[in-house]
């Protein structure tokens, strides 16, 4: 879902906030004196530089990009809403690329002007009044999520600590509000790898599926828990695979013998499994 923002804290450095916003809009950290970088962001977003101290200017940039309140959605959730409404999914590109891609599709060419004006123009294509209605939603613990792997995994090549990227396969709604959009990105890691050995000892791999990006930019904690494991076994059986061939064990998910070629574990890109929400979570939905 693009960039997931960490919650701002009082002691979060000004430079860290600036870098976060730069990566959100441009995809990379910018160079040059800090004051010039702040001014560039303000001009690109609003068309003018703001008055006040550097601290207040940076806080406004960060909050405008990230902070959601009722009837005042952040730039991030509006960007996600426009892309989802117009293309039926969200992507992980920076704002600049996402806006340009949507403009080419729906207007024939890229536009000029501020990021704010260009997004508002796209929202008019997406919603009758150009407005995005958001509201607070409580997401229950253990809700199932179907995901597909973006990172290929193999006991022959994967190593502990390797990042695991996955995506949600379908829109997720709670009480009529969209909370996770198709294409939203999740993050996990390889925790343990045991290669196959002699005397019939098959390979094993321990994978955790830790977070998924919500439509409002927050990270929802996820886990391969008991409910998800049961759903995965049912899915494997429906596909004609034996339960033994799709064993998912352990508190964070030890995948042993899944998609086995010989005695190694190979899990290709596009493999679909279920995970579940770890904790009850409050967030904003569309």
User: For the residues 93-112, what does the mean pLDDT come to?
Assistant: 94
239 pLDDT band, cuts 50/70/90, is low
Q: Quick one: pLDDT at residue 237?
A: 66
- Kindly report the backbone phi and psi dihedral angles of residue 201, in degrees, each rounded to the nearest multiple of 5, phi listed first: -85, 110
User: What's the pTM value of the predicted model, to 2 decimals?
Assistant: 0.84
Residue 254 or residue 221, greater confidence: 221
pLDDT over 90 (residue 244): no
Beta-sheet strand order (sheet of 264-267):
153-154, 264-267, 260-261
CA 163 distance to own-chain centroid: 14
User: How confident is residue 153, by pLDDT bands cut at 50, 70 and 90?
Assistant: confident
CB-based burial label for 286 (10 Å; 0-12, 13-18, 19+): buried
Residue range(s) of every CATH 2.40.128.260 domain in the chain: 137-285
State how far the Cα of 211 lies from the Cα of 214, in Å rounded to an integer. Answer: 9
Q: Is the pLDDT of residue 41 over 90?
A: yes
CATH class of 137-285: mainly beta
């Amino acid at each position: 879902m693009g960039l997931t923002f960490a919650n701002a804290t009082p002691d979060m450095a000004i430079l860290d906030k600036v870098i976060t916003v730069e990566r959100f809009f441009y995809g990379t950290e910018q160079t040059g004196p800090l004051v010039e970088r702040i001014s560039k962001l303000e001009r690109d977003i609003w068309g003018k530089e703001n008055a006040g101290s550097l601290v207040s200017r940076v806080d406004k940039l960060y909050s405008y990009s990230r902070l959601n309140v009722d009837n005042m959605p952040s730039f991030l959730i509006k960007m996600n809403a426009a892309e989802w409404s117009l293309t039926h999914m969200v992507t992980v590109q920076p704002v600049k690329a996402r806006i340009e891609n949507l403009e080419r599709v729906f207007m024939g060419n890229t536009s000029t002007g501020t990021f704010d004006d260009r997004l508002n123009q796209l929202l008019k294509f997406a919603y009758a009044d150009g407005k995005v209605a958001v509201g607070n939603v409580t997401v229950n613990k253990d809700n199932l999520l179907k995901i597909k792997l973006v990172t290929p995994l193999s006991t022959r090549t994967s190593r502990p600590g390797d990042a695991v990227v996955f995506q949600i396969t379908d829109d997720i709604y709670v009480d009529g509000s969209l909370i996770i959009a198709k294409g939203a990105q999740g993050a996990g890691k390889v925790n343990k790898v045991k290669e196959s050995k002699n005397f019939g000892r098959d390979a094993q791999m321990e994978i955790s599926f830790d977070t998924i990006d919500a439509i409002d930019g927050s990270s929802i904690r996820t886990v391969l828990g008991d409910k998800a494991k049961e759903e995965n076994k049912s899915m494997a059986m429906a596909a004609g695979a034996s339960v033994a061939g799709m064993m998912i064990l352990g508190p964070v998910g030890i995948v042993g013998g899944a998609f086995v070629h010989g005695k190694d574990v190979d899990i290709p890109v596009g493999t679909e499994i279920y995970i579940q929400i770890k904790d009850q979570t409050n967030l904003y939905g569309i």
